[in-house]
Structure 1
Amino acid sequence: MKIALLGATGPTGLEFVNEALDNGHEVIALVRNPEKITVKNENFKVLKVNILKEDELSENFKQCDAVVSCLGSPPSWLSLTTVTLYLDSIKVITSAMRKAGVKRLVCMSSMCSKSEPGNPIWVEWVLKPLALGKPLQNMAQMEDYLTSQCSDLDFTVVRPPGLVNGPSTGKRIDVSESQYVVGAEWSMPRRDVAKFMLSCVADSLWLKKIIAVGFPK
């Protein structure tokens, strides 16, 4: 399978690169700073693009089976910085996919992107006010755009819990069409998230779905 990847210079994106290559897939990383990537593989290509330019993306989406986005934005401490990356990028990505004739999209969001009854108090009253409010709000806008404007595409949005570094655990991953997986652990290695996202690329189980993932305790 040939996969176009955005966000390959980030820690989760890099794990996706390694997971996909380890499983024999071909990956094209479309990045702003190619010098940040040191991975070498005959099935891996790194191209410098402006991720907010539709024509640059669509040209490189051609002949790809799927597009994966691991794009991420840093925390907005005390919500002082406006975050627009998620919505801005998904509008360009989906438009470029249509132009290139690619329908399968898997992208990463986060647990509790939307404030809903039942969300953990420590997320709503600590993490969001201190650092994650603006990024999560923009992730929610991205999700709403996909569900309201992209019914013609086969998208899957994955909401992981807190991301940590480290090897894959091999644990079973529970899935829920909700803000978070109730009773699950609050963190997950990036490699396990990457492995799950890769499985979604070829799996039709979660088409046009927004799903939370987590390890059962």
Structure 2
Amino acid sequence: MKLLVFGGGGRTGRDLIVQLLARGHKATALVRDARAFGLSYDRLRAVSCDALEPASFQAALEGQEAVLSVLGVTGFWASLRPMTFYRDSARAIVTGMRAAGVARLVLVSSIGVLDKPAAPAWYRALVKPLLRHKYADMRAMEAFVARSGLDWTIVRAARLIDGPLTQHYRVGAGGTLPDITTISRSDLADFLARAVADPAMAGQMYAISR
């Protein structure tokens, strides 16, 4: 498949690209600065873009078969502030996909969007309130994508950590899962690579955790 990856320059994005290439796909990484991207493989190209401006990535969308987005707000202080990045970037991506005639979208969200995630007490008591603005923006993103008319799959990830690819993780249909812990970026990328190639997963929401 010919696949476009938003957020390809991040840690999850890089893992995802490597795994997509290993599965025989062709990948286009959309990044802030292609000159600083650093990855070089056959069947991979990098394109500089602004994820909030469809005109900056419209040409890269042409001829693609599917889009994956692992975009996110990083940094402690940035994550505490009111934001609209998630919903705005989703709107830009959907706008571009419609114009290019690309229907398949796989997008990462967080298990934190749930009112009562089955996560440790310290997370529910301390972390979730601090990230309330971020989770509210993610909920708005999910709602917009679900109404987009695209063949979407939304993946709600547990807390992301660096770690090896194990392929030992749990997936919850409907976007919920008991006993949420963490998920390595490599294992999340493994599931995303599976999902984008499976038409039966379109229109579905999943949760993923170890």
Give the TM-score, by structure 1 length. 0.89
State the aligned residue count.
210
1:128 matched residue in structure 2:
128
- Are the aligned partners of 1:76 and 1:133 in contact in 2 as well (CA < 8 Å)? no
Moved over 6 A (4+): none
Tell me which amino acid in the other structure corresponds to 1:168. L
> What is the CA–CA distance in structure 1 between the aligned matches of 2:196 and 2:128, rounded to whole Å?
30
Give the TM-score, by structure 2 length. 0.91
Give the alignment partner of residue 181 of structure 1, picking from 155, 177, 181: 177
> What is the CA–CA distance in structure 1 between the aligned matches of 2:126 and 2:161, rounded to whole Å?
19
- Are the aligned partners of 2:164 and 2:186 in contact in 1 as well (CA < 8 Å)? yes
Cα deviation 1:45-93 (Å, max 9, x = unaligned): 0011122122232221111110000001025549752222110000010
For structure 1, which runs of at least 5 residues remain unmatched after alignment? Answer: none
For structure 2, which runs of at least 5 residues remain unmatched after alignment? Answer: none
Cα deviation 1:135-157 (Å, max 9, x = unaligned): 2221111001112x31x200001
1:210 matched residue in structure 2:
205
Tell me which amino acid in the other structure corresponds to 2:157. P
Alignment RMSD (CA, Å): 2.0
Tell me which amino acid in the other structure corresponds to 2:82. T
Cα 1:140–1:25 change in 2 (3 A) is same
Cα deviation 1:19-44 (Å, max 9, x = unaligned): 11111111101111224421111211
- Are the aligned partners of 2:109 and 2:155 in contact in 1 as well (CA < 8 Å)? yes
Give the alignment partner of residue 195 of structure 2, picking from 200, 205, 215: 200
- Identity score, percent: 30
Tell me which amino acid in the other structure corresponds to 2:145. L
Cα 1:80–1:4 change in 2 (3 A) is closer
Q: Does 1:168 align with 2:165?
A: yes
Cα deviation 1:188-213 (Å, max 9, x = unaligned): 11011001001111112321122111
1:69-80 correspondence to structure 2 within 5 Å:
69-75=69-75, 77=77, 80=80
- Are the aligned partners of 1:30 and 1:49 in contact in 2 as well (CA < 8 Å)? yes
Tell me which amino acid in the other structure corresponds to 1:73. V
Cα 1:120–1:145 change in 2 (3 A) is farther
